[in-house]
A and B are shown apart, each in its own frame.
Chain A
Amino acid sequence: MGKIVINNSLVTPEIGKSSVKICPFNAIEFDGGLLSINSGCRMCKICVRKGPAGVFRFEEDVVAAPAIDKSQWVGVAVFVEHNHHEIHPVSLELIGKARELVTVTHHPIYAVLFTDDETKMAPELLSYGVDKVYVYRHPDLTHFNVEIYANLMENFIDEIHPSVVLYGGTAVGRSFAPRVAARFKTGLTADCTILGMKENTDLIQNRPAFGGNIMAGIICPNNRPQMSTVRYKIFKLPEKTVPHGTIVMMDPEGLSFKTGLRLLEVLPKPKDMDISESDVLIAVGRPFKTPEQFKMAQELADLLGGQIACSRPLIEAGLVDPRKQIGLSGRTVAPKLLITLGISGAVQFAAGMRGSEVVFSINSDANASIFDVAHYGIVGDVFAILPILIKQIKEMKGMI
């Protein structure tokens, strides 16, 4: 911890004006010939590193915050999300990542399970190389309840002292993990896309900042547990392994199941709407306007066994169902095949499809940023190429 000190004796009007622009948080102000820092400062120290020489200086606090004893916090825990005893794949992806992280620290891997019946799930978790599955079993745990889950996780953290707790960035994880973070006054980094581990057990949490245009590397050096959420399909599903771990039953008696929330009804959403589950996606962009054009895209999607998705402009134009949107403000997808048609590839779109296995992108603008994330960039007219593609695939399939 510390502060930024400004040497205003070196500040000329030019230096003042240019310094204001350095700060990504708009925290530097230039007024009346003096530079100052406002409450927007996140102490990223970019002004110290990149600013005019001698103007910005970082000063450490004399009394450092009391460092916690990191040796008392051991293990990488993964919160296991499940829907009526079906484990959400994001939890398994996180276990896979935990296996990589502990190669640095040699910490154990824990799975944390809240359920009314663990008999099917606990052995499955062990088969992914978990050292211990901690189970909280209670008849009231048939369905997610944000308050009860937070109470149980509080108990787990108090009892086990894990160094890290990872949550899937699902509606469940994103709702209850923040309560746990606030309860322990510890860090929770949302939507990490890269996780790494330091030898001192600090978790390196990288996430897109400012709508995905730039990455921020975040650490939580003086608090434990360190917590992150990670979206589904950001990490790969791990291979199964020979189980070696054990199942530990935790005692939920005495924990509070009191809640100001009452579940009334659960209604399924139409399944075909979920583009993140599709292996093949045909994503259409701004040039698509007429029903004929959409029909062509749909035809290609049908031939390849996929679904139509789109970028944000079509949502804003009201042409496509909002649930079909790929991007930070829509869905994160990682299909086996993604074909983008006339999408320019804004960063917020790119952030939502980086995990895709094979990406073909057709765009007439050779400088479009979609070509920074595509594997095969096709510089051409989408409405000229599309009919030929459809015809050839039909011929191959003997449909013509």
Chain B
Amino acid sequence: MKILVCIKQVPASSQVQVDPVTGVLIRDSNNTKMNPYDLYALETALRFKETEGATVTVISMGPPSAAAALEEAMWMGADEAILLTDRKFGGADVVATSYTISSGIKKQGNFDLIICGKQTTDGDTAQVGPEIAECLHIPHMSYVDKIIEVKEKSLVVSVSMDKTTERWEIFYPCLITVDKGIYTPRLPSYKRSLTLKDYKIRMITFADLEDQNESHYGLKGSPTQVERMFPPQKNTDKEIWKGTNPDLAEQMIKKMKDLKIL
């Protein structure tokens, strides 16, 4: 069984501040980590490696520095790592990202199962997984919270919907996105990192891909454009109360009566 896990390197902190005077974003630019949801995807794959003898390949797209996230995945137990990196891939939205990653996957050969995290913590769209499945013309299941059974030609999974839990059988080749909590991710192994000292992550650039039309990748291949960035609105219609605790409680009761809550 060949498994592919898609991972992304994300900023370690979501605390972006907007300078009130200049309007410029203030952000710690050097601090990155593997998208936390991807740890669950990788752990799921590594369980398959242990129980089913699967091989686990990790793939990512990003600047050359994103290799750090792939290295971490290797130290956790992945067998092989691929980085799609090219200036021509830059500025990609969901559509261009999914197209590029699926092109890289096609180049890499056939996988039985592709596993993605539920979403990333920086983009938060939860769309790249399903869009990769569409580009590869394979079925997918989002929000898988449990692997129930591994069969020869299919997987039986539990899926967390809004009001129900559903059990689905999904036939290979297929893609699943997994929810946090499916398994507890292991830590990278220091011992393993030593054995991988000379391991070279495989780099795939634009020139390596079959589709050589530049307008399908990166910013040019992205239908959406960020028109502007702006700070969220603060609630200006508000009251702030200070005083002794009993007075504050009294004031709350009175206001709740006025609002007919009580």
Contacts and interface: CB of A to CB of B under 8 A. Distances in A.
Contact of B230 (A24, A178, A215, A378): A215
Contacts of B235: 372-375
Contact of A388 (B85, B238, B245, B256): B245
B18 interface: yes
Given A209-B229, A265-B166, A269-B164, A376 B224 contact: no
Interface residues of B, number: 103
Contacts of B167: 263-267
A213 B241 CA distance: 26
B238 A377 contact: yes
Interface of B: 11, 14-18, 22-27, 29, 32, 62-64, 85-91, 93-95, 98-99, 121-122, 124-135, 138-143, 156, 159-171, 174, 181, 215, 218-220, 222-232, 234-235, 237-246, 248-253, 255-256, 259, 261-262
A182 B134 contact: yes
Interface stretch (A5-13, A93-101, A254-262): A254-262
A295 interface: no
Interface in A359-400: 360, 362, 366, 371-381, 384-385, 388-389, 392-393, 396
Contact of A217 (B29, B138, B181, B226): B226
Contact of A175 (B143, B220, B241): B143
Interface of A: 1, 20-24, 26-27, 37-44, 46, 50, 65, 83, 146-147, 150, 170-172, 174-179, 181-183, 185-191, 204, 208-223, 259-269, 271, 274, 304, 322, 328, 337, 347-348, 350-351, 358, 360, 362, 366, 371-381, 384-385, 388-389, 392-393, 396
B248 A377 contact: no
A29 to B, nearest CB: 8
B194 to A, nearest CB: 29
Contacts of A322: 181
Residue of A26, A39, A259, A268 with most partner-chain B CB within 10 A: A39
- Helix, strand, loop or mixed for chain A's interface? mixed
Contacts, number: 303
B237 A375 contact: yes
B103 to A, nearest CB: 13
B14 A186 contact: no
A150 B160 CA distance: 20
Contacts of A371: 238, 240
Most chain A Cβ neighbours within 10 Å, of B26, B95, B215, B262: B95
B241 A377 contact: yes
B28 to A, nearest CB: 9
**Of B141, B242, B248, which is in contact with the most chain A CB atoms at under 10 Å from its CB?**
B248
Contacts of B17: 213
Nearest to A218: B224
A330 B14 CA distance: 16
B225 to A, nearest CB: 6
B225 A220 contact: yes
Contact of B262 (A40, A219, A372, A393): A393
A380 B243 contact: yes
Nearest to B232: A215
